[in-house]
Structure 1
């Protein structure tokens, strides 16, 4: 049995204690991500119950994303000030209340609006948890951040079939109540164990976290703004296949089932990508890892333009998932490498807001372009343009970091 960190025993980064914390964070992230996935599964049942249009019922997902993005910034700020345990505990209660209120909705607008609360509650188990995990490691920081982020993909694999079974067996209202109760009990239990592992002094673990290792000679606000814009760019591009692959396969005559299989394939390979990018970041750094992922994502998008056979789409979708899964966690690694630990969760939350905005904008924009052109070809090209914006920003940061290394006092000039 592991001995919790006590006031007299300082916590050591990369220790066994750190790996125990990371394991708990992965479980908590997998549980909390239900707020992002349940709304997609419940959509048909809710639409039928309220006799609504598909567009009106789909607004619940949009508002979930709004709550997730804005909630991540607030949760990040609370984490920097009060610690991750208190923040996720509050978010858990908030998300649970959202599910219970959603189950009692008497009108679709109520159901949709309540999903802002559900999204906000879920957000604490993504960006802030990645930032927190970065404080527990130094040599293995990259893998720690990406493992913490992988909880959302694991949740995306496990929760949809569970929620679907519940809706078919008990109805969507009873299922929402069950999700709220079960996740509250399990998450609070995991948080209690994490709190015991962290002890009293290190609940705000950034206090004793290792300092930044990269100096870009940019203010924290400037760097945050650049990463925010870069996040929009990469996720507008990312949204094109993820949001529209099912419809795209339907248009090509392959059927929506094939498209759904390709989407699952993306998420499955995304798990591999997230963990693999962590190993890469520990060797070459967060900025270079982010650049590699962004360039690779652009290559996969380019393939979509030239190949549309069924077999090729399966292969390209697997490639896309393998290339893009590590991009979003890499932002958290860059922030932790270049900014003070005391601001990490807040800054990560702001950049994650940019990525969420990019996903929302990209999904909508691709649909508009398709309506205007009757084809997804222009939408893929639009994604490539936004991806190029991301690559340009990250390349500039990488070159700046290289110049700082080259001309730092005492550095040798090749």
Structure 2
């Protein structure tokens, strides 16, 4: 495996790093201030649209999509280091139209959607004109086993009727969120992995009720938000069904593989920024007669962080390489490994950075506390650690059967 970055990746890296230094980092505080000046879920900070326009003008747009007619035509391995750069800032992925869950939803529409579905929903998502959400998780069942999903999608003539309650539909709080991809059960009598389907539901459809947005460790993630949504006898045209009845799991596997790579590389970027903050801070702080940077325990933390980040990055790049060369199915153990390794690594690095900064580390003057809270959710999102460990163990045991 050769992880040497190609010339096009190096070019993108240089442009991205320059854009981050020139526009993103200096405007993180501006974004927060503008958000606090208004109803946090009613409007979007104007600076975001300004930054998106600049990114689009510089060709730093939709880089996640391997389909060249829609995106940059990059492989998973090529996109991974770019995703890491964007992960250094909470606002950066949206700036480049590379933010979840829109990325996964655009991939679904590009690969599985009909021409009509792509024209109506993919085009405005690619332009960054609207946003979307993904409604799968339910409050009344253990959604880590997606076969438990109970929301119903029932055919009635030329329509489908959707009933059920979803939560943690990330993005549904955003005033620009216009469409949800809903996963539900259309045939309880079918085989285990053929019972579920995915369907497009515009959020302004009668019967769709966004009940509330759910905070994460006290952070509301406005204007994005994580919503609880009731679908009460929601009727949509039969043409809104994606790919066909009973193909929800097939779509989910195609969606989740790249999404997990993206999450992990963004997480590595957040860990890198935390280590950078730690190293800069300890250079000019003194305790017990000497600089923190000269304290043995601090040096140990820094060394461990560097080693842990490098290992996590290499494993993630290996998973991306395998996805590109042998496919998601053959790479499932590696994908599962990185989904456990990357968040746990980043939480450890960020926690050490918080400890080194002391009281400043838990404040909003630095991005560490918010970053820790956000990344802690990744040990649950797209499957909890325990499910991924189960996958790895099963793959390992197969070698000895």
Q: TM-score range by the shorter chain?
A: 0.3 to 0.5
Larger relative CO (CA 8 A, sep 6+): 1 or 2? 1
Q: Output the TM-score relative to the length of structure 2.
A: 0.33
More strand by share: 2
More helix by share: 1
**TM-score, structure 1 normalization:** 0.32
